[in-house]
Amino acid sequence: MDEDTELLTSAFVSRYYWSLVSGTDQCIIGDWMISRAASAVGEGGVALRFALLAYDHAQEAEASDWLIASTAEGLARAYSASGDFEARDRWITVAELLIEAIADSEDRKLIASQLASVPR
């Protein structure tokens, strides 16, 4: 199995496991992780599908501030991987605003560092 396939497979297996034994936040994180892995291996369509799932579920669940900001970062990354640079830039702006609103400074730094790594 090549590294790209192994990365995606691991993300899907992790998401499936967490869907069986955990709560909503872990499932949202699992969708974000699949999106992140798909973005890394150039699977823009898969990345976007799971980034949208993560963001929508975070909104519905009224997730914590850092998790909602993280899913916005995931959307920016997925749009970048999909080649939709206008949407990427819109989601970077959304993520920046959400990051500013994160109460915990360590969480704010972590999500800001993830956003800084979105390919531009």
Could you give the CA distance from residue 7 to residue 94 in angstroms, rounded to a whole number?
28
* Rounded to 5°, angle at Cα 59 from 56 and 63: 125
Residue written as tokens 């915990």? 104
Q: What is the average per-residue pLDDT within 73-90?
A: 98
Q: Which domains does the chain have, with CATH numbers?
A: 3-116 (1.25.40.10)
pTM: 0.94
Alpha helices of the chain — where are they, by DSSP H? 3-21, 24-40, 44-60, 65-82, 85-100, 105-116
Q: How far is CA 55 from CA 1, 4, 37, 83, 118, in A?
A: 30, 24, 16, 19, 17
| Cβ neighbourhood burial of 23 (10 Å; 0-12, 13-18, 19+) | exposed
Q: 85-120: per-residue pLDDT in tens?
A: 999 999 999 999 999 999 999 999 999 999 999 999
